[in-house]
Every structure is written in structure tokens, then in C-alpha cells.
Structure 1
Amino acid sequence: MRNLPEWAWALALPASFVMLWSTGFIGARLGLPYIEPMTFLAIRMLLATGLLFAVALLTHAPWPGSARAVAHTAIAGLLVHGCYLGGVFWAIDRGQAAGVTAIFVALQPLLTATLAGPLLGERVSRGQWLGLLLGFAGVSLVVSSRLQEGTAGSATLISTTVALLGITLGTLYQKRFCPVTDLRTGGAIQFAATGLVFTGIAAATETGRITWTGELVFALAWLVLVLSVGAIGLLFLLIQHGAASRVAALFYLAPPLTVVMAWGLFDERLAPSALAGLVVVVIGVALVQRARPAPAAQG
């Protein structure tokens, strides 16, 4: 694997991230019939904490050197894991289709590109803006049929807005304040902080009832190993080595894949416009990834 050329790594890492990230909505859809959302997330976060803590100890990974660095890492985790996952799982648990949830959080690349300039000093070129807008248009085509069914209520809209703000601000915060944090120790800190929050929310608002089924165990194992460790690790690796706006554009590929998976697994039907949307999304992401960033303003 170490002998792979640079272009192969540049393609493999984003592709792997998109494929893994897309399964998160499906894992939630599979497990939530048997467990309440905050309880589900609390168990997921605490299991991921134990796993990454063990990995960090066995591999002698470096820990943040100050309390300030630990706090920054925890805040990034609360935004990315707490706000984003809490909003998504709550909305899906309340009956919102996976595709509908995906369309709202698909606004994240546009919001990230808008904020990356004032917060990170990044400049977004005209070609990248065009690609971002095309990406959102494509996502809208893919899931428009789900929105027309009227499955997005006001409460779930608020929940998915929280998710959108969480993943957007968390991505920017991670890039700004935790650019070199080790993925093993940083992940353990983030999952621990988020797990404690979810545990408190679950204890205060839910019954704690769990129906242990094969589907729930599989969903939990998949979300811990593949999403919390694999996809999140790839996300923060991509953030460390790429502009926030370019990394954010990859999120556009997740909703179309989610809709396809939901169609295959749960019979959530695809509208004819979805096929056109898939093509538009791919074109938009390609434009963002290939376009050169605009030159920084001279002061």
C-alpha cells in the first residue's frame, strides 16, 4: 500500500470517505426501530471511545500537550459528533426519510465555502463556486421526490438545521484549531466528550429501553467501527491535508449514494430526476476538486 503513487492516494482517500460516510444514514435507519436515538448515540460514542483509547495506548500515540488543546479537540468533537449526529438521528427517529435528511445537510459545502474565507482565510474560485452550486442542484434533484411527499416537518427541519450547523462549524473548527491533532488520541477525546453529553441527554429524556436484535447489533458495530473510526478518521485526515471547501464538497456525493442504498435496502423509491441529479452532483464535485483556489487577497 505504501508503494501506491500519489495520485492513487489522492483518489482513494476521498472515495473511501464518501462510501463509508454514505452508510451512516442507513445505519441509523436500520438500528433506530429498536432503540431511542440518544441512547443509541451514547452507546456508540462510548464504545468508540474505548476502542480508540485502546488503540492510542497500544500504538503509543501522542496526546495533546495542553488543557487548551484538549478543550479545542473536545469542542470540535461536540460539533461534528454531537450536533450533527444528534440532529440526524433525532430526525430519522421521528420518521424523516434518509434522503430528506440528506438534502438539508447537503447545504454544508456551500455554508463551509462561505465561511472559510472570513474564518480560515481561504479563497474560493469561481470554478469552485460553480461546482458547489451544481452539487447542491444535483442533490436537490436526487431527493426532491422525498420532499414532495411532505415528510419534512418543522421539528425535524430544526433538528436537521442543527445537524447542518454542527458539521459545518465542526469542520471549520477542526481545521482552525486542531490541524495537527493525532487522529487516535483526538478521536478518543472527542468521542468521550460527546458520549458523556449523549448519556446525560438520554438519561434525562429517554426510557433506556433497548430491543437487542441482529439488526441493532449489526448497525451499532458498523457505526462504531466503520463510521466513528473509519469515516471520521478519513474526514479529519482530509481536513488536515486539504482546503475546507474542497473537503466539504465531498459531502455532496453522500446523499445520492444514501438514496440509492435506501432504495435497495428499504424500498425508498427513486424518482426519475434522481438519475439526472447523480450526474450533476458528480460534475459539481469534479469542478470543485479540479478548480484552482482563488489567490489570497493582498493586504
Structure 2
Amino acid sequence: MTLARLAPAIFVLLWSTGWVVAKYAAFFADPLTFLVLRYIFAILLFIGFCAATGARWPRSWTTIGHAVVSGMFLHGLYLGAVWWAIGQGVPAAISGIIAGLQPLMTAAVAPFLIGENLSRQQQVGLALGFCGIALAVLPKMLAIDPAATPIQLLPVAVNVLGMAAVTYGTLYQKRHLQNGDIRAIATLQYAGALIVTVPLALILEDLHVTWSLELVAALAWSVLGLSMGAIALLLYLIRRGQVSRAASLIYLVPPLAAVQAALFFGEALTLPMIIGTIIAVTGVYLTNRKTDSAVPSSKPASNATAG
């Protein structure tokens, strides 16, 4: 089995670990504080990566500004919301299911923001997706599932707002960053994320960090495995024209995140979660089936930033 065949699956598997890392890191550091450390190290490593590989930096301040702004939404607000919500008790599996609906939200708002019309199949997919997420999440929120631990409304709402942020960031990048070296763009996006996350951490947290081998391992995986590894694989897929293959596997991310959360943290895989996930994944598939081959460049922007 060659790397060319394995790369899309490895990329998706890396992305799915983001929710597990978020839950694990919360044992040793405040979520937003951890993200600040992650972004700092990611920026430093990306600068070195760009220098070593001869990346071309944008010469236009407008392009630089667009990259920074997109990073505020794609990384700063999105990951900040997801990690904070998990730190407040949202199960990693539920958070992964919510975030997995991002392509649905993108399709839902695309007609208003970039003039893309929805087919009947996509409309059915949207309805299925949101019904699936409701089935998966509401029993826990309303405490009507005896096997589930109740979760609060506010963290779930923040998690949904994070999905809205990455949706807007994806459309923003699609509109304003069609060209440019993705290595340099990614570096600037992490700088934008840092601009957002630092003040949020100062306002909402005590900047608590318990330095330990476990924290260093979580930080190393977040930076090297997610921020760097996923991007490296994305560049490889783009170069080989295999982005659509990775996109076709994105539907596996919510169940992968749920299974990992069950294995590592004992989170219960309740029947409503399983059925809701199947319905939601079906909805995402139907919504994106038409556009997978038409606009493959819109997929990796959101995929690469989800971890």
C-alpha cells in the first residue's frame, strides 16, 4: 500500500483526533491557554517550514489581511469555541458530530453569501443533517436519555457558534484567497488565530497550565500531528490532485471521533447518538455529493483547520 493511497485516510484520521486531544489537554491546561501555546509553536514551526521549502509570501497587504482574517474564523473562533465547549463538559463525540455538520451549514448559507443554489437533493441532505444532530444532542441536553450525562445549553450553543465561524471562514477564504502559497497563507492564518485567542484567554481563563509530560505530549501532537502533519498531507494531496478522495472520507470523522472518545475516555455511545450520527452523515453526504467534483478547492480549507 503506497502513501498515495493511504494519504487521504491518514489525513482524515489525523483530523478526527482533534476532539480527543481537546478533551485530554483540558486535564492539564485551560483550553484557550493551551491553544495560545499551540498557535505560538505552530507559527514558529511554519515560519521555519516556509523558509526551508522556499514558500512565497504574499506581497499585497490586502492578501495578508485576508489570510489573517480567515485565520481568525477558521482557527481562532472555531477551535476556541470547540475547545472551550469541550472544557465545559460537552462530550468530544457530541462536539465532533456538531462540527461534522459544517459542510451542511456552508451549503445552507452559500446561496446568500456567494450565490450558489441548492438542488433538491442538497435540501433533503440539509434536513436530514440537522434532524440527525438534533437526535444525537437533544437527549443529553434534556436528560431524557437514561444512559447519558446531561450537558448544558450554553457550551453546546458555543460549539454551534464555532461551526458557524468556520463556515464563514471557509466561504471567506473561498472568496478572497483563491491564489497564493498555502504554506505562507497557513502561517498567517495561525497568526490571525493568535490575535483572537490571546484576549479571549485573558478574559475567560486564569491561564492555568500544569506542565507535565502529558501536557507536552498533547501539545506536540496538536502542533506536529494536527497543525503541521495535516497541512503537510493536504499539500501532498493537492499536488497529486487527490483532494476529492480526502473529501469523500470526511463523512467518517464524526463516528471516528465518537469511537475514539469512547475508547480513551469512556464516553457512552448511546443509541440516539449512533442513529443521529448515521442520519447526519447521510445528510452531509447528500448535501456535498453534487459539489465534490465541482469545487474541490473549497473542501480542504475547512478540513485542514478542523483539528
TM-score (normalised: structure 2): 0.78
Q: Which amino acid aligns with 1:159?
A: V
How far residue 19 of structure 1 moved from its aligned partner, in angstroms, is 1.9
How far residue 257 of structure 1 moved from its aligned partner, in angstroms, is 1.6
Could you tell me whether the CA contact under 8 Å between 1:252 and 1:281 is conserved in 2?
no
Q: Which residue number corresponds to residue 108 of structure 2?
A: 114
Shifted more, 260-269 versus 188-197: the winner is 188-197
Q: Which residue number corresponds to residue 24 of structure 1?
A: 18
Q: Percent identity?
A: 39
Distance 1:233 1:114, change over 3 A: farther
How far residue 251 of structure 1 moved from its aligned partner, in angstroms, is 5.7
Matched, 1:37 2:28: no
Shifted more, 17-26 versus 131-140: the winner is 131-140
How far residue 119 of structure 1 moved from its aligned partner, in angstroms, is 2.2
How far residue 162 of structure 1 moved from its aligned partner, in angstroms, is 2.5
Could you tell me whether the CA contact under 8 Å between 1:100 and 1:146 is conserved in 2?
no
Matched, 1:89 2:83: yes
Could you tell me whether the CA contact under 8 Å between 1:80 and 1:166 is conserved in 2?
yes
Distance 1:172 1:239, change over 3 A: farther
Distance 1:254 1:142, change over 3 A: farther
Q: Which residue number corresponds to residue 215 of structure 2?
A: 216
Q: Which of 39, 45, 60 is equivalent to 1:51?
A: 45
Cα deviation code 1:246-281 (max 9, x no counterpart) = 96x976532222111110110101113444445445
Matched, 1:263 2:262: yes
Q: Which residue number corresponds to residue 124 of structure 2?
A: 130
Q: Which residue number corresponds to residue 153 of structure 1?
A: 152
Distance 1:176 1:230, change over 3 A: farther
How far apart, in 1, do the equivalents of 2:153 and 2:287 lie? Answer: 32
How far apart, in 2, do the equivalents of 1:233 and 1:175 lie? Answer: 20
Q: Any unmatched runs of 5+ in structure 2?
A: 295-307
Matched, 1:66 2:60: yes
Listed as ranges, the matches of 1:156-171 within 5 Å are 156-171=155-170
How far apart, in 1, do the equivalents of 2:131 and 2:114 lie? Answer: 26
Q: Which residue number corresponds to residue 178 of structure 1?
A: 177
Could you tell me whether the CA contact under 8 Å between 2:77 and 2:196 is conserved in 1?
no
Q: Which residue number corresponds to residue 76 of structure 1?
A: 70
Could you tell me whether the CA contact under 8 Å between 1:97 and 1:146 is conserved in 2?
no
Shifted more, 66-75 versus 151-160: the winner is 151-160
Listed as ranges, the matches of 1:252-291 within 5 Å are 252-277=251-276, 279-291=278-290
Q: Which residue number corresponds to residue 189 of structure 2?
A: 190
Q: Which amino acid aligns with 1:75?
A: V
How far residue 31 of structure 1 moved from its aligned partner, in angstroms, is 0.9
How far apart, in 1, do the equivalents of 2:286 and 2:45 lie? Answer: 38
Q: Which amino acid aligns with 1:128?
A: Q
Shifted more, 256-265 versus 281-290: the winner is 281-290
Distance 1:123 1:238, change over 3 A: farther
Cα deviation code 1:49-69 (max 9, x no counterpart) = 011111101111111120000
Distance 1:253 1:189, change over 3 A: same
Distance 1:127 1:40, change over 3 A: same
Q: Which amino acid aligns with 2:160?
A: T
Q: Which amino acid aligns with 2:205?
A: E
How far apart, in 1, do the equivalents of 2:275 and 2:153 lie? Answer: 29
How far apart, in 2, do the equivalents of 1:290 and 1:94 lie? Answer: 35
How far apart, in 2, do the equivalents of 1:72 and 1:81 lie? Answer: 14
Shifted more, 269-278 versus 259-268: the winner is 269-278
Could you tell me whether the CA contact under 8 Å between 1:109 and 1:132 is conserved in 2?
no
Q: Which amino acid aligns with 2:15?
A: W
Q: Which amino acid aligns with 1:26?
A: V
Could you tell me whether the CA contact under 8 Å between 1:100 and 1:152 is conserved in 2?
no
User: What is the DSSP-based 3-state SS (H/G/I as helix, E as strand, rest coil) of the residue aligned with 1:33?
Assistant: coil
Q: Which amino acid aligns with 2:41?
A: L
Distance 1:234 1:284, change over 3 A: farther
Could you tell me whether the CA contact under 8 Å between 1:80 and 1:167 is conserved in 2?
yes
